[in-house]
Amino acid sequence: MRGTMSANEQKLKALFAHELLKTPDEPFQAALRIEPNTGLALQMVHEWTKDAFVLEEKERLLSENGAKAFLPSKEDYARNVYKFAEEKGYDPKDRLTAYRLYGEIMGYIEKPGINIDNSKTTVTQNRVMIVNEIGSNSNWETKLLAQQKKLTDVSASC
């Protein structure tokens, strides 16, 4: 793995860089995903984690795709939570918490929302009075002024 880089080695280093971005804290697992031979995977981790080509490839992948492209999908995340919930040897409380988290991720458990109870709300109904009056505007104005005068006279006498 030293010296000039072959096309195959370059391809493997590019794959290793991609896998490292997916699991930056687990370089050995990243290596095992592209090389099942444990000895070669260990050698890759030892030599390639600081390799200039691998580091440049990681930067290129990040600039082209963004960091979000290397995060697990919702389904991958849910699968890992479910896998934890299914594992034996953990406290049942932790396993139940994982099952609940899995249910929330997958939408099996509804999150509480805001319930609006309209039965206690006062509804104001503004009524409209329709006046069927036939006549001109000046005729209407004369009648209005006469009505207003009567109202003022009645209120003054009280």
Tell me what the pLDDT averaged over the chain comes to.
87
CA–CA separation, 71 and 21 (whole Å) = 8
Query: Pseudo-torsion of CA 132, 135, 136, 142, nearest 10°?
Result: -90
Question: Taking Cα atoms as reference points, which of 110, 102, 70 lies closest to residue 86?
Answer: 102
- What does the pLDDT average to over 83-108? 90
Report if pTM > 0.75: no
Question: Taking Cα atoms as reference points, which of 53, 47, 75, 57 lies closest to residue 19?
Answer: 57
pLDDT tens figures, 112-145 = 777 777 666 676 777 777 777 677 888 888 888 9
Residue count of the chain: 158
pLDDT at position 1 is 43
Contact 82, 102 (CB under 8 A): yes
CA–CA separation, 147 and 141 (whole Å) = 10
